[in-house]
Amino acid sequence: MKKFSSLLHNLILNPSRNTKIKLLQDYFKILDINRAYALAILSDQLSFQFIKASKLRELVYEQVDQHLFDYSYDYVGDLAETISLIWPTNKEGKSQNLSTLIENIKKIKKSEINREFSQLLSELSNNERWTLIKICTGGLRIGVSERLVKTALADLYNKSVNEIEEIWHGLEFPYENLFQWLRNEKSKPKIDFKKLFHPMMLANPIDEERDFKRLDASEFQAEYKWDGIRVQLMVSSKSVSLYSRTGDNISSAFPEIVENTKGDAVIDGELLVGRNFKPSGFNDLQQRLNRKKASKDLQEKFPVFIRAYDILFYKGKDLRKLFLYERRKYLEKFQKENKTNQIDLSLIIKFKTWKELTKYKNNVHDDLNEGVMIKLKNSEYLPGRKKGYWYKWKKNPKLVDAILMYAQRGHGKRSSYYSDFTFGVWKENELVPIGKAYSGYTDKELLVLDKFIRNNTTNKFGPVREVKKEIILEVAFDDVFPSSRHKSGVAMRFPRIHRIRWDKPTNEVLSIEEFKKEFKIG
């Protein structure tokens, strides 16, 4: 555990990719069971949400005064680190292996969690405590991607990272077959590809100035970019399963898809809510997300369907090495053979020049797509975000000027700065908050805002600072919906700070009525 926690500590502090790879390799060189655990943790494969953040807070409140903890958490901005620093250390116990530690934790009974886990935390050093909490709550956020871990392993054993990538989703903890193959003791693990989730092909944002000059419009096809969730549908005579973008099986949440789809294929598409293939917006889709099951009532109210973009397998045949326009023919064939109310095809937009495509991209009448996808007709289906094949071109965001009202310290890498901003518009002579944003600004703008907030605080509510109502923020957002939960009656989707409007006086900011009218909210 000491070695693994110092690995994480060094990974988080070393910005250089090469150093990170070297650190990982030094760790993986040690041939013992711990590295299987390390690999599982670093690649987020250890399905081990042992303890929730709320439970951890409960435990820490048993150890330290709640207010003192809250002041500290506000300052540090990271739950695991705050707890690891503030937790009173007893005498350090004897150091345990990573593997033993995790297996011991798995054995802890639910009823014993409070006592046993607290005991464990007390026996660890600061850094080990931090590591353990990170492992147990999931999501390390140490600036190491799954890809980097695979690269480190591949380089260490002179294999290609793509070879690892190919078999990755068929591997299981403790990865014996992987390590044996890497060390040339056994041949490459055999994986049944048909049953596997296949990592999805993703798009890069287009750089309008650069890309449109060098790309030939005739080599590309365009489709609308739908605002749902990206899914992979695996359908065969025996079973139907639905996977999210990250490879989680979400079949049980969408029974109507599982019950009704037919055929033998692997389809890539967008899951949307709507009737007769008319999507009804992300707000409706949200009613179906983050649920393990869907009641009949919910299925009736918010029916889902898949808008198919691509096809990876057809009747057992791997199509991924074919070009996009060839795969499309298979997709159309599949659709013809298996017509249902659950799948339709993504429309291909006909255009000759990039300028012509702009019209479709900014299609203001249709609020339900978020722009267009631009795909090279001759593109194989390549996992990950490879450059040069698929691009996304988002609609121009909606913009509104609002007044900065409150600020809070950010989390993670922005933890020392006042970087979470609440902004509002007028309601008679007062301001009413319409949203909160913590991104979009440049580093320079953040420094200016941070300084303004520190020097112009008029009131403090715990960690929240109220500031002089002087700064106007131009806020960009994707969409806005009516909301009964908020005082203003509106909820924004993905608001971010577009720029600071130094030029505008606060009395020119809209009132909430004007805001609702402009963005058509009843």
Which positions lie near other proteins, rule CB under 8 A?
9, 12-15, 64-65, 67-69, 71-72, 75-78, 81-82, 85-86, 130, 412-413, 415-416, 454
> Residue 73 and residue 57: Cα distance in Å, rounded?
11
Calculate the alpha carbon distances from 1 to 73, 151, 486 in Å. 25, 23, 46
Q: Furthest-apart CA pair in the chain: how many Å?
A: 76
Closest to other proteins by CB, 14 vs 283, is 14
Measure the CA–CA gap between 34 and 453, rounded to whole angstroms: 47
Using the minimum distance from each CB to other proteins, give the nearer residue, 414 or 501.
414
Pairing verdict, β 472-477 and 496-500: antiparallel
**What is the smallest separation between the CB atom of 72 and other proteins, expressed in angstroms?**
5
Instruction: Tell me phi and psi for residue 178, to 5 degrees.
Output: -65, -50
Q: Minimum Å distance from CB 254 to other proteins?
A: 38
Nearer to other proteins, 72 or 363 (CB): 72
Smallest separation, CB 63 to other proteins (Å) = 10
Shortest separation between residue 55's beta carbon and other proteins, angstroms: 20
Count Cβ atoms below 10 Å from residue 447 Cβ, excluding itself. Answer: 12
In the complex, the smallest distance separating the C-beta of residue 415 from other proteins, rounded to whole angstroms, is 5
Q: Are 389 and 382 in contact (CB under 8 A)?
A: yes
Question: Which stretches of 351-415 are DSSP H helices?
Answer: 354-361
Report in angstroms the alpha-carbon separations of 92 from 87, 97, 242, 351, 493: 12, 14, 47, 68, 47
- Give me the least distance between CB of 20 and other proteins, in Å please: 11
- Cα 162–168–174 angle (5° rounding)? 135
Which residue, 63 or 114, has its beta carbon nearer to other proteins? 63
- In the bound state with other proteins, the residue whose beta carbon lies nearer, of 72 and 338, is 72
Question: Which is closer to other proteins, CB of 30 or CB of 68?
Answer: 68
What is the SS3 assignment for 405? strand
Find, among 9, 74, 54, 157, the residue nearest to 419 by Cα. 74
Nearer to other proteins, 6 or 483 (CB): 6
At its nearest, how many Å lie between other proteins and the CB of residue 58? 18
Q: Which is nearer to other proteins, 77 or 274 (CB)?
A: 77
Nearest approach in angstroms of CB 10 to other proteins is: 8
Cα(330)–Cα(317) distance, integer angstroms: 11
Quick one: 99 or 408, whose CB is closer to other proteins?
Answer: 408
Residue 68 vs 399, nearer CB to other proteins: 68
Tell me which residue has tokens 């402009």: 518
> 86 with 109: CB under 8 angstroms?
no
DSSP 223-238: EEEESSEEEEEEE-SS
Element (H, E) at 305: strand 304-314
Specify the amino acid at residue 334: F
Torsion of CA 487, 491, 496, 500, to 10 degrees: -40
| Cβ proximity to other proteins, 93 vs 462, nearer residue | 462
**CB distance 223 to 370 below 8 Å:** no
Closest CB 35 distance from other proteins, rounded Å: 21
Cβ at position 3, least distance to other proteins in Å? 15
Angle between helices 113-122 and 53-63 (to 10 degrees): 70
Burial category of 29 from C-beta neighbours within 10 Å (exposed 0-12, middle 13-18, buried 19 and up): exposed
Nearer residue to other proteins within complex by CB, 13 or 399: 13
Minimum distance from CB of 154 to other proteins (Å)?
25
What minimum distance in Å lies between the beta carbon of 67 and other proteins?
Answer: 6
State the amino acid at position 75 in one-letter form: Y
